Amino acid sequence: MIKNYLTSVVRYIAKNKAFTFINVAGLAIGMMACMLIVQFVMHEFSYDKFLDNNDRIFRVQQDRYNKGEISTRWAAGCAGIGPDLKAEFPEVKYYTRLTWAGGLLSHGDVYFKEDNIKFASEDFFKIFSIKLLKGDRETALKAPYKMVMSQSLAKKYFGDEDPIGKVIRNNGRADYEVTGVFEDLPDNSHMKLDGMFSFSTYQAMNNNDPMTTWNWDGFSTYIVLDDKADAKAFEAKLPAFVQKKKGKELKEGNENVIFHLQPITSIHLDSDFIGEFKANGNRQSTYFLSIVAALILFIAWINYINLSTAKSIERAREVGVRKVMGSFRSQLVQQFLLESLVLNIAAVAIAIGLVAALTPWFSTLTGRELGYVLFQQTAFWIWMGALIVGGALLSGLYPAFVLSGYKPVDVLKGRFKNTSKGVYFRKGMVITQFVASITLIVGTFTVYRQLQYMQNQTLGVNIDQTLVVNSPSVTDSTYGTKFQVFKQSLLQYPEVTAVTASSSVPGSSPNWNAGGIRRLSQREDEANQYRVIMMDPDFIKSYGLEMAAGRPFSAEVSHEERSVILNESAARLMGFSKIEEALNDKIFFWGDTFRIVGVVKNYHQESLKKAYDALIFRYDNAPGGLYSIKFNTANVRESMARFENVWKETFPGNPFIHFFLDEHYNQQYKSDQQFGRIFGIFSALAIFIACLGLFGLSSLTAIQRTKEIGVRKVLGASIPSILTLMSRDYLLLMGIAIVLAVPAAWWVMNGWLQDFATRIDLSWWIFALPSLVVVFVALVTVSIHTLKAARTNPVKSLRYE
């Protein structure tokens, strides 16, 4: 019997090659899209799960409050919280803290600027089960001036030599003995570490300070809780601990500090704070893509039902003959379910092949090293088996029962039609498809519009034609003089219009966050926290910042280092009702007094996703950090070669590390752009698959109404009038889909836009345009079959029986 069923399936496929191709292609594309998204989602949820005891490891995240309002949210908080928690709470087994230590590393004549180096305390390897390929986990980071490095970093500096015991120099001053080599961190780690210096070195550099202060931020602190400890109960104890430890001090400053425990496995999806190792993902976007994956697969199955049902009309006589010859309904159901199973197996096989081929491209699109981990999971193959069987049942059960339910007498006489329930079911599925499709297209359009809006907005700062160079890591007492030589040498070139130095450039959060700043006329409890940028006298002019009041810095003014400039947000935060009132007022800044000489208009130091920060600018004739070179980019290669030669002559032994500021600034939108591209691609796939379903429904309708069309043509109906008549039902379906999709799309995208301080308005045309696109594509799809039926000779149509 099975052999007979398989023979029938092969004959059917051979007879209907085009139809089978469309049917299988729809399923395969839907499954492929689902698998690609699932692969991405699995990767996003896999972060840090490779660590032993990952359910007991937490990062101490810090929120600072000023006058009851949150001022900063730190991933890398205060220095003292780790040792204090370990001393106070027996639940804390171990703690480790890390802080930035990047610089210029060198070994012999090999040197590179390294950004992913940290100082780390000795219990790091007790908390993180990162494999140490060489060295002792207990002592590798214990003594001062010791270093562990990743396998790739060791290869970079020592080649095939054993690095243990060898020396690495940092910034041309301190020498570190290599005591360990660890396995490179996988891509699904929230950390980005190439090497670590012992934290005791950092303490030695700071006069053996034990680093127990709560007033010094920038330290990532991780703890491991005892197996019996409850994380939520432990976190609930922290507010009382803060009050006990620092309550009086915080109250005097009208401040507060709240610590949260972040499970290490949730950091990647739930964390976007100051001091992150790298850009993290987004849980909401990941969940949404999961829903999109399920939706696309559901649409693909709906299409199979619609296409199979449409084709069932042509197979009605086959069913009638089989029944007359003695076939039972159960046998017919089995035959059509087997047919569905074969098609689902073919679709799954094609989908797996497409996923294997497209994974490298999809990895680039998402910015993740996805690999082929999905295929290595036993659960994946179990789910594939369930998908084949479940897909065959869900997509084949309905058409199987419809086909096998025809009455032989009616079928052989040509009197057959679908039940109203079947028609309503198919129309309902088409509406569902297009509700999803319209929502996805509106979402894609909104994401694109928002990104374009942000990138085309006036930033208040000129970032065009700007090359930014990292200031030298290896310096001496002549640094200030050398910078002036470098600056003046570059200004000799006709294409260079300005050179300036600063501790931060637009596109990055200022590294310096300073609290306790107030006007001299204010009480201590009126102090606030600000972001601070050091700049030379040419920064404001070079970047085209506008003065709202006062003057910019000047090298000609004596004691200019005692002057500060505010932006408008900082002036308001200090309590000035009018900008002009700030001029010549004095502020208290960490024990020193500074005079306000100017106020610049607000500009977007960071992306338009964030509100304006309160910024204070301080003067330095040669600040370290970054050099900005404004130049005519008509001959970029020649100019870059000149700049690098001047650099090597002025700062020998320092690598020429640079980037273009506009590209750097737009990197802030990278994750949103990736999300938009993924969203757009799968929206297009959803539309394509939905149109396949509509193709099936229009095919069914055209077959059912072939005779009617022939009669209408005989009575004088034109082809346009027939197209209008046949399209009317589909326009109604599209109208219902639009009515349902618009509020759903508005709710979803309005929620997404809440994350942006500067955002577009969801105008009516953002919904109207995608809806019209869907209607147009749908009508074109429907018209293919309708036009074919309408152009058929009426004689053939009326001889159909």
Question: DSSP readout, 670-710?
Answer: HHHHHHHHHHHHHHHHHHHHHHHHHHHHHHHHHHHTHHHHH
Looking at residue 800, what is its pLDDT? 46
Q: Rounded CA gap, 537 and 619, in Å? A: 7
Q: Rounded CA gap, 489 and 597, in Å? A: 30
In a domain, 608, yes or no: yes
pLDDT at 1 over 50: yes
Tens of pLDDT, residue by residue over 588-618, are 998 899 999 999 999 999 888 888 989 999 9
Contact 78, 219 (CB under 8 A): yes
Mean pLDDT of 286-302: 82
Contact 490, 646 (CB under 8 A): yes
Mean pLDDT of 217-230: 94
In a domain, 104, yes or no: yes
In this structure, are 167 and 222 located in the same domain?
yes
Residue 615 pairs in a beta bridge with 531
Looking at residue 269, what is its pLDDT? 93
In this structure, are 674 and 570 located in the same domain?
no
Looking at residue 413, what is its pLDDT? 53
Non-local (6+) Cβ contacts of 666 within 8 A are: 455
Tens of pLDDT, residue by residue over 425-459, are 667 777 877 787 788 788 888 888 888 888 778 88
Looking at residue 251, what is its pLDDT? 78
In this structure, are 644 and 752 located in the same domain?
no
Contact 184, 152 (CB under 8 A): yes
In a domain, 595, yes or no: yes
Mean pLDDT of 118-133: 96
In a domain, 629, yes or no: yes
Overall number of domains in the chain? 3
pLDDT at 166 over 90: yes
Share of the chain above pLDDT 70, in %: 87
In this structure, are 166 and 201 located in the same domain?
yes
Q: Rounded CA gap, 534 and 619, in Å? A: 6
In this structure, are 633 and 491 located in the same domain?
yes
Tens of pLDDT, residue by residue over 650-660, are 998 888 999 99
Tokens 């191709």 — which residue?
21
pLDDT at 704 over 80: no
Instruction: Identify which of 667, 657, 646, 629 has the alpha carbon closest to the alpha carbon of residue 465.
Output: 629
In a domain, 33, yes or no: no
pLDDT at 111 over 70: yes
Mean pLDDT of 283-298: 83
In this structure, are 419 and 480 located in the same domain?
no
In this structure, are 437 and 503 located in the same domain?
no
- Residue 427 or 571, more confident: 571
Mean pLDDT of 31-39: 88
Looking at residue 486, what is its pLDDT? 96
In this structure, are 112 and 158 located in the same domain?
yes
pLDDT at 220 over 50: yes
φ and ψ at 728, to 5 degrees? -60, -45
In this structure, are 143 and 288 located in the same domain?
no
In this structure, are 158 and 293 located in the same domain?
no
Q: Which amino acid is at 97?
A: R
pLDDT at 555 over 80: yes
- Token pair in block for residue 199: 């934290």
Helix H or strand E encompassing 560 = none
Mean pLDDT of 643-656: 92
Mean pLDDT of 699-707: 68
- Token pair in block for residue 711: 């009669």
Q: Which of 627, 646, 665 is the last residue of a domain?
A: 665
DSSP structure class, residue 121: -
Instruction: Identify which of 100, 98, 114 has the alpha carbon closest to the alpha carbon of residue 157.
Output: 114
In this structure, are 645 and 731 located in the same domain?
no
Mean pLDDT of 719-741: 82
Q: Which of 634, 665, 696 is the last residue of a domain?
A: 665
Instruction: Identify which of 19, 244, 201, 16 has the alpha carbon closest to the alpha carbon of residue 696.
Output: 19
Query: What rounded mean pLDDT belongs to the chain?
Result: 85
In a domain, 331, yes or no: yes
In a domain, 14, yes or no: no
Q: Rounded CA gap, 408 and 420, in Å? A: 20
- Residue 64 or 377, more confident: 64
Looking at residue 782, what is its pLDDT? 74
Host domain of residue 77? 69-253
Contact 499, 541 (CB under 8 A): no
Mean pLDDT of 510-534: 87
Q: Which of 665, 690, 707 is the last residue of a domain?
A: 665
pLDDT at 420 over 60: no
In this structure, are 155 and 182 located in the same domain?
yes
In a domain, 342, yes or no: yes
